[in-house]
Amino acid sequence: MLNENIKALRKSKGLSQQELAIKLNVVRQTISKWEQGLSVPDSDMLISISEVLETPVSTLLGETVVTSEVDDLKVISEKLEIINLQLAQRSTTRRKMFHWLFILLCAVIVTIFAVLWVLNSPYLDWNYFNPETAVLGVAFHAFEWLFVRLAPIILIVAIVGIFLTRKKV
């Protein structure tokens, strides 16, 4: 009878054997033995169990506790609410991360454009007879050529991304 009452009350409170064991400072196997009727808690532990499960000791020792489906539904709905809040928080965090990533991308593109404009294509004035300068000039020219063609597209996509990930009021 005690074993069934402990198990029924634990489940009605939405506690696992591990969670109850932690609250009582015992190992999970102890809870399992109590619920299977292989051992019984001492009087001090009965008081601790009654406090954790918020029920009188007489109820633990008395008649079989009837589990109510309302309590089970309440526990399930509370857990689902917590999960939904966690998912919403994760989604908000991800949206903020992408928003700032798009802003950073726009800033980098504008900065590179400004640097290229200030430098005014210096590779045209380089001495291409020097092998080191020639290779560097060709590499810089290739970067600039590719950047000037792709950056506007990336910039437009980033600006659209900023608007799509902004905080909605």
Instruction: Report pLDDT for 103.
Output: 95
Q: Which of 38, 34, 37 has its CA nearest to residue 53?
A: 34
Statement: residue 123 has pLDDT above 60: no
Q: What is the mean pLDDT of residues 91-111?
A: 93
Contact 89, 34 (CB under 8 A): no
Residue-wise pLDDT for 52-72, tens only, equals 888 888 888 876 555 555 667
Task: Map out the domains of the chain as residue ranges.
Answer: 2-67, 71-165
Three-state SS sequence of 5-64: HHHHHHHHCCCCHHHHHHHHCCCHHHHHHHHHCCCCCCHHHHHHHHHHCCCCHHHHHCCC
Q: Compare 84 and 125 and report the one with higher pLDDT.
A: 84
Q: Does domain 2-67 have CATH number 3.90.1170.50?
A: no
